[in-house]
Amino acid sequence: MAMKHSLDMRQGQSLVMTPQLQQAIKLLQLSNQELAEFVEAELERNPLLVKIEGEATPAAETVEAQRSEAREQGDAATQSEARDQLDAPGEDVYEPGTGSDTAMPANASGPSATTDWSSAGSGQSSEDFDYTANLSSDVTLAEHLHMQLNFAGLSSADRLIAARLIDETDETGYLRTPLEDIAKSLGADIANVEAVLGVCQGFDPTGVMARSIPECLALQLRDRGRMDPAMQAMLDNLALVAKHDLKALMAVCGVDKADIQDMLLELRQLSPKPGAGFSSDTTVAVAPDVYVRELPNGMYAVELNSETLPRVLMDKAYYAEVTALPMREKEKQFISECAASAAWLIKSLDQRARTILKVASEIVRQQDGFFAHGVAHLRPLNLKQVADAIEMHESTVSRVTSNKYMATPRGLFELKYFFSASIPATGGGEAHSAEAVRHRIKQLIEDEQPDDVLSDDQIVEILTGFGIDVARRTVAKYRESLHIPSSVQRRRMGKAG
């Protein structure tokens, strides 16, 4: 078979991601701590970047002052030419601001509820927090619990509750905040919060998120299958254990001395501080990326947290001074690359801030029911809805909602927790959030009478009456995700009770 060479011409289109575009995408998905670390590295690498610390003068005044100083120190004509080259269209200063207060009514609809972004604000000194100095490969207790939460099978509403419970857990593993306060803050039923706590208390390490030492020890004993009335009596009288009053313990527990000694030995094998084995030196309080506050007229204002955003500018005066000096070709290329890199970084930081604010504002608009009434009023929401409303790609919204936090009157939440599946409504009405349907199923089962236990089919009929179009298998799936037994098992439990 003969081989021959040939030339073919083909026309096509392809998307090529430049290094600058890759950097902009990378910045979107960074958390505020990671962003601060990235900017610090760029400041060390790029001599044309300057970080504004504390209450610095406005960027325009700072740059002008630097230019005046440069004019006094060098050849004015040459520097003026260099400045003209640098003053080409494009951003040369990035100063994060708080964002304009944007009022969003509870009945707002459509993408018209936009948020402006202001360049006023103050930065945070790099001396306030050294991320790399505190970085460790060890996992904190909060990180360990959040990882387990991802696989707990909870609804978005219950995930919000669980996330709050984890955030309220201290380094030793105890939940110190009263459940009533958490329920009131989230607008949730106390019974629902207790149910979610029961799920979270099944996380590793055993005994975590207990509200007292007796409860912590009881969780560990139940896990070992060693919880009985005698052991419960001992936990109710830990003061006697501390005094080592064996006679009094024998009396309250109803056992002999040998059993008491065995029970005390088991008690000593438990950990009164289940979180002690996790790293605590890398624990950093989560700083919100945006703030949401309710206005007196019932509307909401969304603004950026400028304290978490670095404030950088390009040192044009230094650039003008350097370019006025005689340089070799490699040096000219290096300075040119530094100028381009600085300009692109500043532009990317500005775009990142605008995008975060735009996505957060749309989430608040879509989920105004949650902010007004609580977790039972979460609406079905997906990335596409937000992306279409703000005219961005779904992948952009996905990156923005990862590792970004929103401080609200109901607490601190990661943006991704506000997304949930939807359940269609009968008659073509407004769809229902899957979390709201789960909540309604849970309430129906909690309100049922022992002699009138609802089957999954009956629950479907009731939900249909509420205008919720849901299949029986979906009801069964949601019921199981709530760790609720079937109707047959509930009837048996009722008879046994």
Alpha carbon distance 51, 356 (integer Å): 22
What confidence tens digit (pLDDT) does each residue in 109-118 have? 333 333 333 2
- Taking only Cα atoms into account, the Rg of the chain, rounded to an integer number of angstroms, comes to 30
Judge whether 15 lies within some domain.
no
pLDDT score, position 78:
38
My answer on whether 377 and 310 are in the same domain is yes
Give the end-to-end CA distance of the chain in Å, rounded to a whole number: 87
> Residue 123: what are its φ and ψ, rounded to 5°?
-95, -175
302 - beta bridge partners?
292
Helix axes 456-465, 472-481, angle to 10 degrees: 110
pLDDT digits (tens, 9 = 90+) for 425-462: 555 555 566 667 777 888 888 888 888 889 999 999 88
Last residue of a domain, one of 392, 418, 444: 418
Cα separation, 283 vs 136, whole angstroms: 10
Average pLDDT over residues 271-293: 77
Tell me the residue type at 14: S
85 and 194 together in one domain: no
For residue 244, the number of C-alpha atoms closer than 13 Å in the C-beta half-sphere is: 3
464 falls within a domain: yes
Q: Are residues 192 and 217 in the same domain?
A: no
Q: What is the pLDDT of residue 496?
A: 59
Q: What is the pLDDT of residue 98?
A: 42
* pLDDT band with cut points at 50, 70 and 90 for residue 58: very low
Give 138's pLDDT tier (boundaries 50, 70, 90). Answer: low
Same domain, residue pair 395 and 483:
no
Distance, CA of 454 to CA of 371 (rounded, Å): 32
Q: Containing H/E element for 50?
A: strand 49-51
Asked if 184 contacts 372 with a C-beta cutoff of 8 angstroms, the reply is no
Q: How far apart are CA 94 and CA 346, in angstroms?
A: 5
Name the DSSP letter for residue 455.
P
Residues 395 and 492 in one domain: no
pLDDT recorded at residue 316 = 87
| Structural domain count, the chain | 4
pLDDT at 197: 94
For residue 1, the model assigns a pLDDT of: 56
Q: Measured on CA atoms in the order 205, 206, 209, 212, is the torsion positive or negative?
A: negative
**Phi and psi torsions of 232, nearest 5°:** -65, -40
Same domain, 364 and 479: no
What distance in Å separates the CA atoms of residue 96 and residue 309, rounded to the nearest whole number? 6
- In the listed set 418, 438, 464, which residue is the last one of a domain according to the structure? 418
Q: Which range is least confidently modeled, 108-112, 303-307, 343-347, 386-390?
A: 108-112
Continuous segment of H or E residues that includes residue 407: strand 405-408
Tokens, residue 305: 């947290």
Give the per-residue pLDDT at 125. Answer: 32
Q: Is residue 326 part of a domain?
A: yes
Q: How do 405-408 and 290-294 pair as beta strands?
A: parallel
CB-based burial, 462-479: b 16+ in 10 Å, e otherwise: ebeeeebbbeeebbbebb
Q: Residue 423 has what pLDDT?
A: 58
For residues 244-252, give the mean pLDDT. 89
**Beta strand segments in 311-403, E:** 312-314
Tens digit of each residue's pLDDT (9 = 90 or more) over 118-127 = 222 333 333 3
Q: Give the CATH number for residue 471.
A: 1.10.10.60
| Domain housing 179 | 141-200
Neighbours of 246 (CB within 10 A): 14
Considering the domain architecture, whether residues 316 and 412 belong to the same structural domain is answered as yes
**If you average pLDDT over residues 473-485, what whole number do you get?**
84
Does residue 341 lie within any of the structural domains? yes
From the CB of residue 7, how many other CB atoms can be counted at a distance below 10 Å? 4
For the CA atoms of 296, 300, 306, 309, the dihedral, rounded to the nearest 10 degrees, stands at 160
What pLDDT sits at residue 90? 38
Q: Minimum mean pLDDT among 108-117, 206-215, 381-390, 466-475: which range? A: 108-117
pLDDT score recorded for residue 303:
92
Check whether 225 has a pLDDT greater than 60.
Answer: yes
376 inside domain: yes
pLDDT mean over 249-269:
89
- Range in 253-262, 310-319, 428-437, 445-454 with the lowest mean pLDDT: 428-437
User: Model's pTM, two decimal places?
Assistant: 0.56
Tell me the per-residue pLDDT of 170-182, one tens digit each, with 9 for 90 and over: 888 999 899 999 9
Residues 389 and 443 in one domain: no
Q: Which amino acid is at 315?
A: D
pLDDT of residue 377: 83
The pLDDT of residue 226: 85
Q: Does a structural domain hold residue 456?
A: yes
* In a domain? residue 151: yes
Q: What pLDDT is recorded for position 389?
A: 92
pLDDT of 11 higher than 80: no
pLDDT at position 360, please? 93
Percent share of the chain, pLDDT over 70:
75
pLDDT of 132: 34
Task: Output the average pLDDT for the chain.
Answer: 77
Residue 211 predicted with pLDDT over 90: yes
Residue 255 has pLDDT above 80, yes or no: yes
| Residue 102 and residue 361 in contact, taking contact as beta carbons nearer than 8 Å | yes
* Residue 391 predicted with pLDDT over 50: yes
Q: In the structure, what pLDDT confidence band is assigned to residue 358 with cuts at 50, 70 and 90? A: very high
The reply to whether 338 and 434 lie within a common domain is: no
Q: Which residue bears the tokens 């990661």? A: 414
Are residue 336 and residue 354 in the same domain, yes or no? yes
295 and 373 both lie in a single domain: yes
Residue type at 305 in one-letter notation: N
Answer with the one of 418, 438, 466 that is the final residue of a domain. Answer: 418
- Residue 218 belongs to a domain: yes
**What's the pLDDT score for residue 91?**
38
Question: What's the pLDDT score for residue 94?
Answer: 41
Indicate whether 293 and 381 sit together in one domain.
yes
CA 151 to chain centroid: 16
